[in-house]
Chains A and B, each alone.
Chain A
Amino acid sequence: MTVPDHTEGEPLLRIAGLSKRFGAFAALSDVSLDLTAGEFVCLLGPSGCGKSTLLRLVAGFETPTSGTIMLGSEDLAALPPHRRPVNMMFQFYALFPHMSVGRNIAYGLKGMGMGRTAVADRVAELLRLLRLDGFEGRAPDTLSGGQRQRVALARALAREPKVLLLDEPLGALDRSLREETQGELRALQRRLGTSFVVVTHDAGEAMTMADRIAVMNQGRLVQIGDAASLYERPASRFIAGLLGDVNLIEGRIAGPAAGAIQAVETGFGRIEAATERSWGLGEAVAIGIRPERVTLVAGAAALEGRITERTYLGDRLRYRVTMADGTILRASVLSSGHALSPGDPVGVAFAPDAIAILPP
């Protein structure tokens, strides 16, 4: 499939100011997102956050209330779904139940001006690519979940789209198969160089597969970046909690310390945190710190607490530490070191760059 006037380096897909209202409900509000060729982007968020609506707008099943969707220099909004040079892999696959695997995969190739043998060759190529050799004549309902997932992927890839939209592609698979398939999907995307936009509600899945993760909440795109930047420097409590376990502590800005380090006064003492933003003195904030970035030190420290619970998780030990004001901190440490016991007094320390200052 050719995309007119697209030059390397420019974004391939450019979504600008996209909004979608269903009556009084704003499903999507002013979302802008650029996708470069060959990029793997995950749209991550809880159900109802607008991620599927965004995908359906790009595919053409919904009409935007406002905003533009450009593929190269072509405005997709003007085209009906069957004329758009993007393809979609549907949640629960939507395989045609009355067609064999082979005919499902060939469906998109008919009407592309390909000869009968060219279609057969392409189908054979896709069957090989997705390890479906020998399944060509089978009916979809005789296949396992993993096989159906691969048929859906083959069918969506058949027309060689520049951008492939995948709606919860692994959502219907069981856990072990899902982890295996994450790697396969990523490898396939690298090999084909197709841009993937994957909708998922599973943060682990997004972190495993994506070049960039676009976090969505209540119809808005709230933060976009690679897994590490989202995990280490979340923009809000919502994002911090979405990407993993986090201690959230209320506090107030107590003034700048050295350089880009801010001091935050919390209920159990003063904490220093690195931040790129400027905060007003006395401003109410929350600080987020991951349990594995909490350092426990035996003996005297600036911040002191007491171990109230210990859980053994094999490779790690998880502690609950009750601070002087009753705040409970969760700390996760490698289990190879000396184990502390409930009742032990303990000092708590944080590296400033391990802490994110968040709006309250």
Chain B
Amino acid sequence: MRLVRLLPLLPYLWLGAFFLLPFIITLKISFSAAATAQPPYLPVLDWSAGPVGWAYFLEALDFANYETLAGDSLYRDAALSSLALAAAATLILVLIGLPIAHAMARAPGRWQPALVALVIVPFWTSFLIRIYAWIAILKPEGLLSGALMQLGLIASPLEIMNTQTAVLIGLTYAYLPFMVLPLYAVLNRLDPRLREAAADLGASPARVFWTVTLPLARPGLAAGALLCFIPMVGEFIIPDLLGGSDTLMLGRVLWSEFFSNRDWPLASAVAILLIVLVVGPVVLFREAEARREEAGK
């Protein structure tokens, strides 16, 4: 019975163990200096030394890694490029996901479970394998170029593999379900009589969409956009496999700092920067929501 009373604490325990604690450790490492040691950074807290150990430990922490991030244009460019690619992919996802979700929600009721299942089906194959499959499609001698050349639409193979275009295609493909499902959930719950009422009052189908369907789908649109944008900013596999060396994204920078350079402190600083970059839009969004809510009252 006492276990049951602890149940409400479970979310906090979970967040504490799997988010807050790792976050604090990462934050600490980001203030450290790289070292050829085990672990590969300094300082390490000497628990046996007592208060003296703590004083030495705290003194050794500094902002040097963040100064490096600010000073080197590589990191700034990677951050801007990550944000730009994630934003562009989010926009494309909205433009593709909205019509798909809209059509699903308006399909006959008996088809809808099958349509939802079709959106989820790709998850049955490993993410990594699906991205590898895109290499086979996008490479110059791949399926896409071959098909377009067969049709006589292009004369020479497409040069999109290892470009930002390939990354955009990959991001759009991989994250589409995360845009479609929240939008579908909202549109599916939308009272069809609201659309009928708008049409009854003389609104053309286009006006019904802009003035009734879209405003009422906003929560789903916001959820979908955040669900896609946040992981896309830090995406590693897609730019690494499809983007080639041209594509600079924070996920790849983090990976190379960590594994190639073995610079854990700088990699940790990049990770913290990534969190700040994705938390920023969420906070801005929540504030805009709150203001809107305030204005609506």
- Report Cα–Cα, A61/B297, bound state, in Å: 33
Residue A337 lies at the interface, judged by CB distance under 8 Å to chain B: no
| In the complex, per-residue mask of B172-203: 1 if CB is within 8 Å of any chain A CB, else 0 | 00000000000000000001011011111111
Bound: A61/B197 CA distance, A: 10
Q: Which of B194, B200, B212 contacts A87 (CB 8 A)?
A: B200
User: A88 at interface (Cβ–Cβ under 8 A)?
Assistant: yes
Q: Determine the chain A residues whose CB is within 8 A of the CB of B203 once the complex forms.
A: 82, 107, 111
Query: What residue in chain A is nearest B198 (Cβ atoms)?
Result: A107
A96 touches B194 (CB 8 A): yes
Q: Does B207 belong to the interface (CB within 8 Å)?
A: yes
Partner of B201, one of A60, A61, A92, A159: A159
Contact A59/B200 with A96-B212, A111-B207, A139-B296 known, Cβ cut-off 8 Å = yes
When chains A and B are docked, how far (Å) is the Cα of A139 from the Cα of B296? 8
Shortest Cβ distance from residue A222 to the other chain B in the assembled complex, whole angstroms: 28
The listed residue (A82, A83, A94) touching B194 by CB distance below 8 A is A94
User: Which one of A61, A94, A112, A159 has the greatest number of beta carbons of chain B within 10 Å?
Assistant: A94
| A81 contacts B by Cβ under 8 Å | yes
| The one of A60, A96, A139 that contacts B197, using a Cβ cutoff of 8 Å | A96
User: Which B residues lie within 8 Å of A95 (CB)?
Assistant: 197
Residue of B nearest to A84 (CB): B200
Categorize the interface residue count of chain A.
20 to 34
- Per DSSP, are chain A's interface residues mostly helix, strand or loop, or mixed? loop
| Chain A residue with Cβ nearest B216 | A98
* B243 CB, nearest partner CB in chain A, Å: 40
In the assembled complex, which residues on chain A have CB atoms less than 8 Å from the CB atom of B8? Answer: none
B199 touches A82 (CB 8 A): yes
- Cα(A140)–Cα(B151), bound, Å: 56
* B residues near A96, Cβ cutoff 8 Å: 194, 197-198, 212
If A61-B196, A90-B196 touch, whether A111 touches B216 (CB-CB below 8 Å) is no
Interchain nearest-CB distance for A108 vs B (Å): 3
- Whether A159 lies near B196 (C-beta < 8 A) is no
A177 to B: closest C-beta gap in Å: 22
Q: Does A155 contact B (CB under 8 A)?
A: yes
> Which residues on A sit within 8 Å (CB–CB) of B196?
59, 61, 81, 88, 90, 94
Residues of A within 8 A of B296 (CB): 139
B218 (CB) vs chain A CBs: closest residue: A98
Q: Which residues of B contact A61 (CB under 8 A)?
A: 196, 199
Q: Hey, which chain B residues are within 8 Å of A193, CB to CB?
A: none
A98 B215 Cβ-Cβ under 8 A = yes
Whether A81 and B215, one on each chain, are in contact in the complex, defined by CB atoms closer than 8 angstroms, is no
B36 lies within 8 A of chain A by Cβ: no
Partner of A159, one of B191, B202, B215: B202
How far, in angstroms, from A81 to B198 measured CA to CA in the complex?
9
- Tell whether B204 is near chain A: CB-to-CB under 8 Å: yes
User: Given the complex of chains A and B, what is the CA–CA distance between A112 and B297 in angstroms?
Assistant: 29
Q: Which partner residue on chain A sits nearest B195 by CB separation?
A: A94
Against B, the Cβ 8 Å flags (1 = close, 0 = not) of A73-91 are 0000000111110011011
Mark each residue of chain A from 149 to 172: 1 if its CB lies under 8 Å from any CB of chain B, else 0.
Answer: 000000110110000000000000
Residues of A with C-beta under 8 A to B199:
60-61, 80-82
- Note all chain A residues with C-beta closer than 8 A to B191: 94
| Interface flag for A97 (CB, 8 Å) | yes
Closest A residue, CB atoms, query B196:
A61
Residue of B202, B204, B212 near A108 (CB, 8 A) is B202
Query: Which chain B residue lies CB-closest to A139?
Result: B296
Instruction: Give the interface centre of B196, B199, B200, B211 by most chain A CB atoms within 10 Å.
Output: B200
- Give A90 to B194 CA distance when docked, in angstroms: 9
Residues of A within 8 A of B215 (CB): 98
Query: When the two chains form their complex, are residues B193 and A90 in contact, meaning their CB atoms are under 8 A apart?
Result: yes
A91 to B205, CA, bound (A): 22
B residues 231-286 near A (Cβ < 8 Å) are none
Question: A111 and B202 in contact (CB under 8 A), knowing A90-B196, A94-B197, A96-B197?
Answer: yes
Residue interface bits B201-224, CB-to-A below 8 A is 1, else 0: 111110110011001100000000
Residue of A82, A84, A139 contacting most chain B CB atoms (<10 Å): A82
CA A343 to CA B73, docked complex, whole Å:
107
Q: Which residue of A lies closest to B207 (CB)?
A: A111
CA distance A158 to B197 in the complex (A): 13
Q: How far is the CA of A82 from the CA of B209 in the complex (A)?
A: 13
Roughly how many angstroms separate A98 CA and B215 CA in the complex, as a whole number? 7
Cβ of A108 and Cβ of B201 under 8 Å apart?
yes
Q: From B204, which residue of chain A is reached at the shortest CB distance? A: A82
Q: Smallest Cβ distance from A231 to chain B, in angstroms?
A: 33
Least CB separation from A83: chain B residue: B202
Would A87 and B201 count as touching, CB distance under 8 A?
Answer: yes
A87 to chain B: closest residue by CB:
B200
Q: Which residues of B contact A82 (CB under 8 A)?
A: 199-205, 208
Nearest-Cβ distance from residue B57 to partner chain A, whole angstroms: 55
CB distance from A44 to the nearest CB of B (A): 22
* Residues 65 to 113 of chain B near chain A (Cβ within 8 Å): none
Contacts of B198 in A (CB 8 A): 96, 107
13 further interface pairs, Cβ-Cβ under 8 Å (given A81-B200, A107-B201, A139-B297): A61-B196, A80-B199, A81-B196, A82-B203, A90-B197, A94-B197, A96-B197, A96-B198, A111-B202, A111-B204, A112-B202, A139-B296, A159-B201
**Pairs across A and B, CB under 8 Å, 24 listed:** A59-B196, A59-B200, A60-B199, A81-B196, A81-B199, A81-B200, A82-B200, A82-B201, A82-B202, A82-B203, A82-B205, A92-B193, A94-B196, A96-B194, A96-B197, A96-B198, A98-B215, A98-B216, A107-B198, A107-B201, A108-B202, A155-B201, A158-B201, A159-B201
Residues in B lying within 8 Å of A, measured CB to CB: 191, 193-194, 196-205, 207-208, 211-212, 215-216, 296-297
6 pairs of A and B residues whose beta carbons are closest in the complex: A108-B201, A94-B193, A94-B197, A81-B199, A82-B199, A88-B200
